[in-house]
A and B are shown apart, each in its own frame.
Chain A
Amino acid sequence: MNYLIQQASILGGEPQDVLIADGRIAQLGSIAPADGVQVVDGCGLVLLPGMVDPHTHLREPGREDAETVETGTRAAAKGGYTAVHAMANSTPVADTAGVVEQVYELGRKAGWVDVRPVGAVTVGLEGKQLSEIGAMADSRAQVKMFSDDGICVSDPLLMRRALEYVKAFDGVIAQHAQEPRLTDGAQMNEGEVSSVLGLPGWPAVAEESIIARDVLLAEHVGARLHVCHVSTAGSVEIIRWAKARGIQVTAEVTPHHLLLTDEKVRTFDPVFKVNPPLRREEDVMALRAAVADGTIDVIGTDHAPHPAESKECEWAAAAMGMTGLETALSIVQHALVDTGLLSWADVARITSTTPAQIGRVADQGRPIAVGEPANLVLVDPAARWIVDPYAMATKGRNSPFAGMELPGSVRATFFHGHPTVLDGQLATPRPADA
């Protein structure tokens, strides 16, 4: 099937028609509808390249009670994504070619988005021995991003070796920056609120000291470093310094760190428990400014679904993590576009172009131009909706935005020319042999 999107504003520009044929953008401009072409009304809507998440937890294999590749990628499509990077902390850990190929195959068969598995840096995420990085890179899963996310590669020598080694495969180490000794038993951001609540603190310095060390290591060995979920104003300053120095570092921020603060923890509701923790208002503002000035390169959801019982308990017993795939674009619009910090072209850069480049994902994050793959998302920036976790495609009900009214809704998502979302509803997956 071919599709004609009528009068959509490409990256927020003048309305144009877009013809999608055989999985690619066939024509742009003023196009007359033809027989056999399904028309999609794009009037008042913004057309962006399909979003690419550098940081998703799909939980399969091992925790299919929390999420599966099928449900997680449905959620991704519904949120406007056409590719996700599936983090390695599954059970078994994605530290061999066998596991990453399994996840890749599950994603291909599901047909909602491109699933790019992330390989573990160390065997079993244990921080002791490098995993088979070469084998994963050369597998059908074509792994380019390696991360022990959830756990920091805290041994400085091991981190140095990892950064050096991935250069042979054009890879990147995505670091979860958390000094383990400084965060032993940590439950929330350390500061005024933790002092009142009596919850053990997760100090900003535990993130910043690792980032400082890692950018210097990346400089020393001439390697690529990606910093996951940057959460503090101090981290932003270090990354800004590193970039000015020419160090090959990219940085990611989550939607929740762009909006929520540790004041939410006063409720003791574990839906607000996440790692790194929600920080102060000053940090939120510094992170927004860092996205605006390019210090932070990309939005990563850190989508982390959990079953109900992992959150229906006291704070300390609860799992860390929040869902994010189906709210990310709305939060970005709310925190960055509606505040005047970013244009829609900037949104395309931080949600699609740059994450695809960091992960070396072919056919994603491409310009909206004739001949390019039709990975696209059509957004209604004027829409407003109330977040209902029970209406989501993810299995996880742990959305910290539940009950909030947010702007912007995904009207359609095209994945290699196939509509996975139409009229704001999940449509059909793209057939695996297409």
Chain B
Amino acid sequence: MKHLLSTADLSREEAVKILDIAGEMREAGTRVVKKLPALRGRTVVNLFFEDSTRTRISFEAAAKRLSADVINFSAKGSSVSKGESLKDTAQTLLAIGADAVVIRHPDSGAPARLAATDWIDLPIINAGDGTHEHPTQALLDAFTLRRQLALRDGVSATGLGLDGLKVAIVGDILHSRVARSNLWLLNTLGASVTMVAPPTLLPVGAESWPCTISYDLDQVIAEGVDALMMLRVQGERMRAAYFPNPREYSRYWGLDDARLGTLDAAGAETLIMHPGPMNRGLEISSAAADSPRSTVLDQVTNGVAVRMASLYMLLSGDLI
């Protein structure tokens, strides 16, 4: 594994290996001394062209717990608006002495472009590109699911996939890099996926995806699902007329108190996931977000472990 650009590039063996290493990293994170010496002397650059405090500090914590030095480079906007090209920025980082680049970019494909060109020859980790992919988010979601199920069943998660699991991803699929990365990874790990959204927020072409598509959240819940991944709905989507107004969106596609009640009444073990930040009252009610089913904070904790595993695998040579 040279780069981590897309979950579609991961074999099952590679994905399980990352999750297994993340499991070890998570255990280390529960100790009083959380730091490991694995990447001492190496420098990781967080290259963020888009605001994302959560993802950046998660990567920063991951690199620091592995004893790497971290440089945070914030350059809001694309190369056009800031006047320096991606190529020049990348080559500057190389000249500074970076050993790996974690990149968040508003344009789909920017990390793939860095990896494919001869501008720099460093491992690239995609920390979210446009509406394309966010592979470490999908890995932390898979890790969370796998860990929760193993805890429930009283077994070790190590080596396991997500075979037979039913996951529904709900919300703005069209603009979601999280949905795309999860789709490929969940399939690779043996889970089945249903995408639930208003038709305006599903891309044309999604009918070719390896998943079921539904416009009816109630029906998906009634049929039984192991996890509901609720996606953030951005305010700008309303202005572009993807749906009439937030109330109507909530009524049809929000995980509101009534739907939470349906899950409880059915005695379902359905987990509620959200990549954050949440719009409480829009795609998820406060009761749902704070319920025992919610894995939201567990996802954040696991995010650090998964990013430690990713950095470790890319920087400490080919373990696979």
Instruction: Check if B204 sits within 8 Å of A317, measured CB to CB.
Output: no
Instruction: Check if A312 sits within 8 Å of B204, measured CB to CB.
Output: no
Q: How far is the CB of B6 from chain A (nearest CB, A)?
A: 9
Q: How far is the CB of B274 from chain A (nearest CB, A)?
A: 20
State whether the Cβ of B113 lies closer than 8 Å to any Cβ in chain A. yes
- Known contacts A314-B78, A317-B78; A194 and B205 CB within 8 A of each other: yes
Instruction: Give B65-96 as 1s and 0s: 1 = Cβ < 8 Å from A's Cβ atoms.
Output: 00000000000001110000111000000000
How far, in whole Å, are A192 and B116 apart by their CA atoms in the complex?
A: 22
Q: Closest residue to A189 on the B side, CB-wise?
A: B205
Residues of chain A contacted by B110 (CB below 8 angstroms): 268, 314-315
State whether the Cβ of B36 lies closer than 8 Å to any Cβ in chain A. no
Q: How far is the CB of B182 from chain A (nearest CB, A)?
A: 13
Instruction: Check if B113 sits within 8 Å of A195, measured CB to CB.
Output: no
How far, in whole Å, are A195 and B206 apart by their CA atoms in the complex?
A: 6
State whether the Cβ of B105 lies closer than 8 Å to any Cβ in chain A. yes
Contact of A195 among B8, B79, B86, B204 (CB under 8 A): B204
Instruction: Check if A267 sits within 8 Å of B87, measured CB to CB.
Output: no
Instruction: Check if B108 sits within 8 Å of A313, measured CB to CB.
Output: no
Q: How far is the CB of B278 from chain A (nearest CB, A)?
A: 22
- Which residues of chain B in 88-121 are interfacial with respect to chain A, using CB atoms and an 8 Å cutoff? 105-110, 112-113, 116-117
- Known contacts A197-B109, A269-B116; A313 and B87 CB within 8 A of each other: yes
Q: Closest residue to A193 on the B side, CB-wise?
A: B205
- Known contacts A313-B79, A316-B108; A201 and B203 CB within 8 A of each other: yes
Instruction: Check if A195 sits within 8 Å of B205, measured CB to CB.
Output: yes
State whether the Cβ of B208 lies closer than 8 Å to any Cβ in chain A. yes
User: Contact residue range for chain B?
Assistant: 20 to 34
Instruction: Check if B116 sits within 8 Å of A312, measured CB to CB.
Output: no
State whether the Cβ of A371 lies closer than 8 Å to any Cβ in chain B. no
Instruction: Check if A314 sits within 8 Å of B204, measured CB to CB.
Output: no
Instruction: Check if A198 sits within 8 Å of B86, measured CB to CB.
Output: no
How far, in whole Å, are A197 and B109 apart by their CA atoms in the complex?
A: 8
State whether the Cβ of A190 lies closer than 8 Å to any Cβ in chain B. yes
Instruction: Check if A194 sits within 8 Å of B203, measured CB to CB.
Output: yes
Q: How far is the CB of B160 from chain A (nearest CB, A)?
A: 27
Instruction: Check if A314 sits within 8 Å of B107, measured CB to CB.
Output: yes
Instruction: Check if A268 sits within 8 Å of B113, measured CB to CB.
Output: yes
Segment at the interface with A among B129-137, B139-147, B253-261 = B129-137
How far, in whole Å, are A190 and B205 apart by their CA atoms in the complex?
A: 8
How far, in whole Å, are A203 and B86 apart by their CA atoms in the complex?
A: 29
Residues of chain A contacted by B129 (CB below 8 angstroms): 198
Instruction: Give A294-312 as 1s and 0s: 1 = Cβ < 8 Å from B's Cβ atoms.
Output: 0000000000000001001
Q: How far is the CB of A157 from chain B (nearest CB, A)?
A: 26
How far, in whole Å, are A269 and B112 apart by their CA atoms in the complex?
A: 9
State whether the Cβ of A196 lies closer than 8 Å to any Cβ in chain B. yes
Instruction: Check if A192 sits within 8 Å of B133, measured CB to CB.
Output: no
Q: How far is the CB of B134 from chain A (nearest CB, A)?
A: 10
Minimum-distance CB pairs A-B, first 3: A195-B205, A268-B109, A198-B131
Residues of B within 8 A of A (CB): 8, 78-80, 85-87, 105-110, 112-113, 116-117, 129-133, 177, 180, 203-206, 208-209
Residues of A within 8 A of B (CB): 187, 190-199, 201, 203, 267-269, 309, 312-317
What are 10 A-B pairs with beta-carbon distances under 8 A?
A190-B204, A195-B204, A198-B129, A201-B204, A267-B116, A268-B109, A315-B109, A315-B113, A317-B78, A317-B79
